[in-house]
Chain A
C-alpha cells in the first residue's frame, strides 16, 4: 500500500512563483534552536526563506513554487529533533495582530507628540517664572497645538471609537471619561491660547493618551499572544488521518480535508482523528481520553469510534461520520453548550474599577464648577478649574494598573510551563479555593509505564525492549521505552492481537499476551494491580511477566500536599472504575473522591460547590471533562488533553510534572494582589491630587508631574510580579 502526504491545504501562494507555509514547532526555546532550525532548513535547495519566530514558536518557509513538497520540511525538522505541524492562521488571530499593530502605531505617534510638546512646554513653564514675553509664550502654545491636535486625533482613535460605540449603545465605559477628558483639555487649551493665557494643557492631554496607549497595547498584546498560543495548540492537535483515495491507496491528509463518508485507515498505535464507525477489522481501543476509562474496549464491525481514541492491536477501517451522529459526543457537546451559556460573564477587575470611576470623576468636576461659581468665581475660571480636575483624575495609572501586571505575570507563568488561553484567567485562578481533579491523564501520566521493571533481570529486559520495537502496540512501545531499546531484533514477526516473536541464535523470543508466551501460570502470582495490563516475555523456557500501567505524575503527591498547605479543598471526580480511582486517591491521600462519574454528574457536583460559594478550579484532560471545564470558575488542562477540552480550558500546562498547577495558582494570587495594590496606588494618588485640582492651584507642570509620577510608580510595582518563588511546598 502506498502512502502519500498531502499538505496542499496549508500552502499558500506568496506571489511570483513562491509558495509559503507556516509551521508550528514544538520545543523551540532558545537561540541555539533558532539557528539550528534556520540553517537546517535553508540548506535545502530552492528554499528562499526560513525564519523562526521565537515569540510564537513558529517557522515561516518560502520556496520556489512546485520544486518541493512541504512534507520534506517536516521530515527535516524531525531529523533536527523538532516536531512540526502545518499551521492555518485563523482569521481571529489576523484581526488581533492587525489591532496590535494599530495600537503600536498610535503609541508611536502619541509618544512622538508628547516628547515634542514637552520640549515646547518646559520653556513656557520656566519662562512663566522668569522673563518670557507673552508673544513668545503664544508662539510656543500654537506650536504645541499644531503638534498635539493632529496627533491626538490619530492616536486617540482607539478611545474615541470605543467611547462612541458605548454611547450609541446607551452605556458607558472607561473610554467615555477618557475621551471627554482629552477633548475638553485640548479644547480648553485652544481657547486659552487664543486669549493669551498663561497655561495650556496640550502636554497633559497627549501624555495621558501615551500612558493609556501603553496599557492598552500591553492588554492587546497579551490577547494576541494567548490567541497565538491557542492557534499553536490547535495545530499540534490538528492531526492527520490516512484516507483511502483509491481502493488500495491511502494518503495522509489533514483532518480538515476529511468529510463524512470518507474511509480512513487506523493502524495499531495510532490515535483516531475523526469520529466514525468501524467497517472492517478487529481490535481493542483505548478510550481513556474520552471517558476516563482505562480498560480497553473491543472494536469490531459496527463499533463507533471517537476522535481521541487510541487503536491498540489490529488495523481498522473506519467510515467517517458527521460529529452529531456519535451519541456520546452529542451528549458532551450539548452539556458543553449549556455550560458555556450558563457561564456568567465574569466582571473583570478593570471593568469593576471603571464602573465606579466614571460617575465619581464627572460628579467631582461638575461640583467643582458649581462650587466655584457659587463662591463668586467667573464662569471661565470655574470651567478651567473643572477641566483641570478632569485632567488630573484621568486614569493613567488606572489604565496601567492591570495590563502591566497581567503581561509580566503571564510571562512568568509561561516560563513555569503554563499557557494562558483567556485574558482574565489570572484573576479567576487567583480566587480558586477548591480543586477538582480528573484522574486519568491528569493525576496520572497519559503514557504507560512498566511498573515492575526492577524485578526483571536487566539483560532480559533489554532483549524484551528490543523485541518490543517491532510492534506498534502502545504497551510494547512502553516496554521499549522503559528498556531504552534502540535496535530492533532482526526478523521479528508480529501476530496481530497476540504479540511479537523472533528467533535469535536458535532460541525463540516471544513478547505479548500471557497465553501467547505460555505464561498463564505466572499471572496469578503477579496480578495484584487491577489497572495494569499484563504482558509476558519468554526466552526459550524462561518466562517473565511485565505489569504496564499509567503511573501517577512524578510530583503528584508533593503538589497535592502543597495545595492542602494553601488551604485549598481537593477532590477527584473520575469516569474510571472504582478500584482504579480508589488506588490513586489513597496513594495521594485525597479523602474525597468519586468514581464512575458521568459528565452530567461532574457538572452537578460543580454546581453544588458553587451554591456553597466555592470557586472551583477544574483540572481535566478528557473529552468527558470539557463541559465541567466550562462550568467551573476557572479550568486547566494538560497539553496532552483532548482537543475540545484544551480549547475550553482557561490555562494549559506543559510537561510531565503537575507542579505548574501550583505555580500558576501562586503566580496568579500574587498578580491579583499586585493588581489590587496598583488600584489602591492609583486611588491614593487621586485622593492627594484631586483636592489640589479642586482648589484651583493646579498648573500644567503639576499635572504632568503627578501623572507621570503615578504611572511610573504603578509600572515599577507591577515588575514585582516577575519574581515568582520557585518553591511550591
Chain B
C-alpha cells in the first residue's frame, strides 16, 4: 500500500495539469467561437503562393 504515496500525488498532479491546461485555453480565447473552431478543423490549408508559370 506504500505505492499510494506515489500514485495519489501523481494522479492529482495529472488532474491538476489538465485543469491548468483548461484554464489556459479558456484565457487564450479558445472557447470564444465554438462554431467557427468546429469548421476550422476541416478547412483547407492556405493555398501555396502562386508560382509564376515557367516559360
Contacts and interface: CB of A to CB of B under 8 A. Distances in A.
A112 interface: yes
A105 B25 CA distance: 11
A104 B43 contact: no
Contact of A55 (B11, B18, B34, B43): B34
A116 B35 contact: no
Interface in B9-34: 11-12, 15-16, 18-19, 22-23, 26, 31-34
Interface string A92-107: 0000000001001100
Contact of A147 (B12, B22, B36): B12
B11 A54 contact: no
Given A34-B43, A147-B12, A109 B19 contact: yes
A127 B22 CA distance: 32
Nearest to B36: A54
Contact of B19 (A31, A52, A55, A108): A108
Contact of A101 (B8, B26, B35): B26
Interface string A31-50: 10011000100000000000
A108 B30 CA distance: 14
Nearest to A42: B46
A39 B43 CA distance: 12
Contacts of B31: 104
B23 A55 contact: no
B8 to A, nearest CB: 7
A567 to B, nearest CB: 36
A105 B23 contact: yes
Task: Rank and list the top 7 A-B pairs by shortest CB-CB distance, nearest first.
Answer: A54-B36, A31-B39, A112-B19, A53-B33, A54-B35, A55-B35, A108-B22
Nearest to A112: B19
B33 A54 contact: yes
A143 interface: yes
Contacts of B39: 30-31, 34, 54
Interface string A636-663: 0000000000000000000000000000
A108 B24 CA distance: 11
A116 B7 CA distance: 13
Interface string A7-46: 0000000000000000000000011001100010000000
Contact of A35 (B11, B12, B18, B44): B44
Contacts, number: 53
A30 to B, nearest CB: 7
A55 B44 contact: no
B32 A31 contact: no
Contact of A104 (B12, B16, B26, B40): B26
B53 interface: no
Nearest to A147: B12
Contacts of A53: 32-33, 36
A116 B12 contact: yes
Given A116-B11, A143-B8, A56 B42 contact: no
B23 A31 contact: no
A55 B15 contact: no
Interface string A105-119: 100110010011001
Contact of B26 (A35, A105, A136): A105
Question: Which among B12, B42, B46 has the greatest number of chain A C-beta atoms within 10 A?
Answer: B12
A101 B32 CA distance: 9
Given A55-B33, A115-B15, A119-B15, 14 more contacts: A34-B36, A34-B43, A35-B43, A39-B46, A52-B33, A53-B32, A53-B36, A54-B39, A55-B32, A55-B36, A108-B23, A112-B15, A112-B22, A143-B8
Contacts of A31: 39-40, 42-43
A450 B42 CA distance: 44
B26 A108 contact: yes
Contacts of A116: 11-12, 15
B1 interface: yes
Contacts of B15: 112, 115-116, 119
